[in-house]
Amino acid sequence: MSNSHIRPHRRQVIKGIGTAALVAGIGTPFIARAQSEVVKIGHLTPLTGFLGPLGEYAQLGVQLAVEELNAAGGIDGRQIELLMEDSVNPATASTKAERYITRDNVACIIGEISSASGLAIAQVVERNKKLFFNTGCNSDALRGSDCSRYMFHVEASNSQYVKGVGSAFLRDGLIDGKKIYFLTADYAYGQDLSRVGKNFIEANNGTVAWEDLVPTDATDFSAYILKIRQAQPDLIISNLAGNQITNFVKQYTEYGLDFPYGGFGFDTAVAWGAGKGNFGGEWPVVWHHKLENPGAQAFVQAFTAKWGKPPDNQAWGDYLATKLVAQAMTETKSIETDAVLDYFEGGPKLDILKAREGYFRKRDHQLIQEMYTMTAKPIDQLEDEWDLMLLGAAVPGEGEDLEAIAPTEAENACSFDAA
């Protein structure tokens, strides 16, 4: 990972300042008001452990969004004060979310990657009636059995990832009648992804014949790869997360096995970590810096100019969530929970830096959006260290209903408590 930013020791605060207001062409009276009447936003993400590389990009994304918003006048004339902390684990995430709300009086919380920590934060915001915009937790359970009216999901669900890339596996004849080997991260996200993945495979006449649960701190995959070699599966599916994927992909390449492989979950930063010549297979992704949409490329240019590298999909999620929150607060002229909640439940079509607009589905607060698949780009065509992937067509395709890849109510029912 790049060291182009400073990691906070315990807590990092970015405040809107007068110079930002001057850039936006605002006079002194506004500056005084902006400094005394800020809008506080709390950001939590893991900066350590196997998800740490993704959390670093999350912080870069939210920082850029806040700087751009403050330079343009903030939220309805009020500058944004961004509070950022390392969520570490579910217990820490819960404690810090509670403190953001009760001590710091944040308007909302943005972030997280671990589904277990996301659930912990959701329980805090439910009690306190504050909003949480999930930017990295994929578990369908967070949209189903553990859903909360106070939680919105910018990140795609496991169902969206599985159905998105599953269409490619079906196209290539890798599921129907085939025996499949699962490698699954042994925590909430991986277990939920495995459940959703098995449902998809069984519905399409495939069999999950083998599955290994992999500890989140695992770095040596040689024992698993030797088991795979002995099993001789038709397809290997990764339900891994963070740098687990990086380590598996690199070591699988080193062993030189030729069984087809890919994953039901993915982040571009983990492929970058694997490096040139080590990335292969077929993978799903929620966003990619090579998208040709004008909004996407404006974001890529601004991010690269500031941080010296392109954004990954996690940076996109935290950047987008912050911009959407600001949009809702500006249009409703309110930072209150009910106003923002009602705005998004109204189903406005949203610019999400993709070809097609998205919207938050009212019944589970999932952002309904297109996904993509990726394969390895030939080594002789690589332009730089971030140019490892060939981006496939959007899924669902043009003209198809975006909800085709989202979990149905029968698959993943959500019931919000009366609020």
Q: For the chain, state the CA radius of gyration.
A: 21
Predicted local confidence at residue 14, as pLDDT: 55
For residue 33, the model assigns a pLDDT of 42
Distance CA 302, CA 325 (A): 20
- Are the C-beta atoms of 313 and 391 separated by less than 8 Å? no
First to last CA, the chain: 43
Length of the chain as a residue count: 419
Structure-token match 């949203």, residue found: 350
pTM, entire model: 0.90
Query: Residue 212 has what pLDDT?
Result: 98
Ramachandran region, residue 347 (left: φ > 0; alpha: ψ -120 to 50; beta: rest): left
Q: What is the pLDDT of residue 408?
A: 95
Q: What is the pLDDT of residue 275?
A: 87
For residue 257, the model assigns a pLDDT of 95
The total of other beta-carbon atoms located within 10 Å of residue 232's CB is: 10
* Token reading at 11: 């807590």
Q: How far apart are CA 246 and CA 240, in angstroms?
A: 9
Q: In angstroms, how far apart are the furthest CA atoms of the chain?
A: 73
Q: Which CATH superfamily is domain 12-157+291-368 in?
A: Response regulator (3.40.50.2300)
Q: Please state, in angstroms and rounded to a whole number, the distance separating the CA atoms of residues 97 and 41.
A: 11
Tell me the domain boundaries of the chain: 12-157+291-368, 159-286+370-405
Six-digit token string for 259: 């069984």
Closest by CA to 56, choosing from 5, 93, 14, is 5
Query: CA torsion angle for 60, 62, 64, 69 (degrees, to 10)?
Result: -170
- Contact present, 200 and 168 (Cβ < 8 Å): no
Map tokens 């998205």 to a residue: 358
Same topology, domains 12-157+291-368 and 159-286+370-405? Answer is yes
- Position 3 scores a pLDDT of 39
Measure the CA–CA gap between 57 and 316, rounded to whole angstroms.
Answer: 9
φ, ψ at 320 (rounded to 5°): -65, -45
Q: Out of 3.40.50.2300, 3.20.20.10, 1.10.132.20, 3.20.20.140, select the CATH number for domain 159-286+370-405.
A: 3.40.50.2300
Quick check: 41 and 66 in contact, CB under 8 A? yes
Token readout for 308 is 């010296």
User: pLDDT exceeding 70 applies to what percent of the chain?
Assistant: 91
Question: How far from chain centre, in Å, is Cα 27?
Answer: 38
Point out the residues of the chain with pLDDT beneath 70: 1-36, 418-419
Strand 235-239 to 80-86 pairing: unpaired
pLDDT at 13: 59
For residue 396, say if its preceding peptide bond is cis, omega within 30 degrees of 0.
yes
Distance (Å, whole) CA 153 – CA 131 = 11
Q: What is the 3-state secondary structure (H, E, C) of 32-94?
A: HHHHHCCEEEEEEECCCHHHHHHHHHHHHHHHHHHHHHHHCCCECCECEEEEEEECCCHHHHH
* Closest C-alpha among 9, 85, 77 to residue 41: 85
Taking the C-alpha atoms of residue 151 and residue 414, their distance in angstroms, rounded to an integer, is: 12
